[in-house]
Amino acid sequence: MTRRTAIDEQDPGAGERVALLEFTHSQLQDWVLSQGQPRYRSDQLYSWLYGSLAPDFEGMRNLPQSMRQRLGEMADIQRLAPLQDVLSSDGLTRKTLFALSDGETIESVLMRYEERNTVCLSTQVGCSLGCTFCATGHSGFTRNLSAGEILEQTLYFARELREEGHRITNVVFMGMGEPLMNYEATWQAIETLTDSRGFNLGARRITISTVGIIPGIERLSGEKLQVGLAVSLHAPDDELRKTLAPITRRYPVKKLIAACRTYFERKGRRVTFEYALVDRLNDSLQQAAQLAILLEGLLCHVNLIPLNPVPGSPWRGSSRERVRGFHRKLNRLGVNSTIRLRRGTEIEAGCGQLRSRWPGRQGAQNCLSS
Ligand code: SAH
Ligand code: SF4
């Protein structure tokens, strides 16, 4: 059986263009060779794409003019079209709505801190997992993003930052979709982002957030790169968690925590748990104590986030008082936890409204201020 490669898949018919960001390093090499160019040209091209963040072929000065022209005729670097940008009033958070080449839309966010610039990436158009408190979940699933579509979100913000002399320091997969339900493309994007011949981001600066897809977590445990793992837990027991995250029926809480323990043992990286506090649903002191028992002995950190209300959902975020009470209880029981605010909630686009306001589209974006 012959294996189909990215080159076969991208074998452009008449008039079709090749999306260069879809190639891994070695696939790019094969493609450049197939175009009759020497191998070192692919290294140069790769370095332009991910090291120099070239938006087009014009400026690739060490490539011969004839090659640049040919590339311009047959290949694309940029396929995402920014439709709308929303900036928070403090100017620190920028949310961008992109159109994909098939007209679907996704959101990505850039969060600036004093010493960090974090991008929050989407991995799917919509999500199939239907968490009841999540606007992306409400919108249903349309399709997976490709590796190139994931990468391009990053490059877009990296170019913007570079103009100001800055760079992306952290990447979080906390945008639309479930990264572990789109493992291949997500992992290819991560391998490209961490490649020292190009973008050269440390794997430890990348965090994958998952609702708890156990086979995906197990697969991550076996990878060489030490990416961070965040698990969106939100409840200490199956019964309650099922009402928030229906996937709990397939992947129950205790098994999920066991997979997290293995992740820690294999990777030596502390796992983060996201816990969105819903008023009088999962925010009692008793539930905090239950959570502490569940996580006992696991080196981890819990991020407490008051739920962001989503239209059509009956739930509200917990009051400050209840958030503080939960936080104190956890810390007293020896579980490290921090109260987080969701960045960008005030730019209306806070939780997917940007996408849902775009004619005919629904969506969500949930990026933590960490
Ligand atoms: N599918 C992955 C990653 C995308 S969601 C996951 O579920 O982890 C990113 C984060 O936003 C998750 O922690 C998710 O639970 C959280 N989230 C979604 N809707 C939210 C809301 N309305 N309020 C607070 N957090 C929310
Ligand atoms: Fe999907 Fe994550 Fe939203 Fe759940 S919280 S519906 S897994 S994007």
In a domain, 2, yes or no: no
Same domain, 105 and 153: yes
Question: Strands, E, within 266-357: which ranges?
Answer: 271-277, 300-306, 337-339
- CA quadruple 233, 236, 242, 243: dihedral positive or negative? negative
Domain assignment of residue 261, given as a range: 81-357
Same domain, 59 and 88: no
**What are phi and psi for residue 120, nearest 5 degrees?**
-115, 120
Per-residue pLDDT at 6 exceeds 90: no
Q: What is the pLDDT of residue 313?
A: 82
Per-residue pLDDT at 48 exceeds 90: yes
Ligand 1 binding pocket mutation candidate from 119, 153, 209 (most atoms within 8 A of CB): 209
Instruction: Centre a 10 Å sphere on the Cβ of residue 90 and count the other Cβ atoms it contains.
Output: 10
Atom of ligand 1 nearest to the CA of 177: 1
Answer whether 79's CB lies under 8 Å from 149's CB: yes
Answer whether 342's CB lies under 8 Å from 350's CB: yes
Same domain, 129 and 217: yes
Which of 28, 51, 76 is the last residue in one of the domains?
76
User: How is residue 1 written in tokens?
Assistant: 């059986």
Task: Give the tens place of pLDDT for each residue, 9-31.
Answer: 555 555 689 999 999 999 999 99
Q: What is the pLDDT of residue 158?
A: 98
Q: Is the pTM of this model over 0.75?
A: yes
Say if ligand 1 is within 6 A of residue 278 CB: no
Q: What is the pLDDT of residue 343?
A: 64
Mean pLDDT calculated for residue range 319-343? 94
In a domain, 4, yes or no: no
Task: Return all residues near 142 (Cβ < 8 A) that are at least 6 apart.
Answer: 104, 124, 125, 126
pLDDT: is 365 or 291 the higher one?
291
DSSP codes of every residue in 9-49:
HT---TT--EEGGGS-HHHHHHHHHHTT--HHHHHHHHIII
What is the b/e burial string over 35-61, where b = at least 16 CB atoms within 10 angstroms of the residue's CB? eebeeebbbbbbebbbeebbeebeebe
Question: Strands, E, within the chain: which ranges?
Answer: 18-19, 75-76, 81-87, 93-99, 105-112, 117-120, 124-126, 141-144, 170-173, 206-210, 228-232, 271-277, 300-306, 337-339
Residue 369 pLDDT class (50, 70, 90 cuts): very low
Distance 179 CA to ligand 1 centre (A): 12
Same domain, 255 and 312: yes
Which of 29, 44, 76 is the last residue in one of the domains?
76
Query: Which of the residue ranges 30-44, 150-164, 281-295, 311-325 would you say has the lowest mean pLDDT?
Result: 311-325
Same domain, 260 and 330: yes
Same domain, 303 and 228: yes
Residue 370 pLDDT class (50, 70, 90 cuts): very low
* DSSP state for residue 65 in the 8-state scheme: H
User: Mean pLDDT highest for which of 127-141, 289-303, 346-360?
Assistant: 289-303
Distance 317 CA to ligand 1 centre (A): 13
Which of 76, 94, 112 is the last residue in one of the domains?
76
Distance 239 CA to ligand 1 centre (A): 19
CATH number, residue 156:
3.20.20.70
Domain count, the chain: 2
Answer whether 318's CB lies under 8 Å from 283's CB: yes
Q: Is 65 left (phi over 0), alpha (psi -120 to 50) or beta?
A: alpha
Same domain, 46 and 110: no
Q: What is the pLDDT of residue 366?
A: 54
Same domain, 180 and 302: yes
Of 136, 341, 340, 362, whose CA–CA distance to 245 is shortest? Answer: 136
User: Mean pLDDT highest for which of 12-16, 301-305, 341-345?
Assistant: 301-305
In a domain, 367, yes or no: no
Distance 128 CA to ligand 2 centre (A): 8
Task: Give the tens place of pLDDT for each residue, 98-141.
Answer: 999 999 999 999 999 999 999 999 999 999 999 999 999 988 99
Residue 170 vs residues 193, 200, 223, 240, 331: alpha-carbon distances, Å: 11, 12, 19, 33, 27
In a domain, 363, yes or no: no
Ligand index nearest the alpha carbon of residue 308: 1
The SS3 of residue 323 is helix
Ligand 1 binding pocket mutation candidate from 118, 121, 134 (most atoms within 8 A of CB): 134
Distance 162 CA to ligand 2 centre (A): 31
In a domain, 364, yes or no: no
Task: Give the tens place of pLDDT for each residue, 173-231.
Answer: 999 999 999 999 999 999 999 999 999 999 999 999 999 999 999 999 999 999 999 99
Same domain, 314 and 185: yes
Arithmetic mean of pLDDT over the chain: 91
Same domain, 45 and 148: no
Instruction: Tell the residue nearest (CA) to atom 5 of ligand 1.
Output: 174
CATH number, residue 61:
1.10.150.530
In a domain, 175, yes or no: yes
pLDDT: is 77 or 138 the higher one?
77
Per-residue pLDDT at 364 exceeds 80: no
**What are phi and psi for residue 114, nearest 5 degrees?**
-55, -45
CA 366 to the chain's CA centroid: 10
In a domain, 100, yes or no: yes
Atom of ligand 1 nearest to the CA of 351: 22
Residue 156 pLDDT class (50, 70, 90 cuts): very high
Residue 198 vs residues 124, 228, 237: alpha-carbon distances, Å: 25, 21, 43
In a domain, 11, yes or no: no
Same domain, 245 and 302: yes
Say if ligand 1 is within 6 A of residue 174 CB: yes
Place of tokens 């440390």: 202
Query: Which residues are designated catalytic?
Result: 107, 351
Same domain, 140 and 219: yes
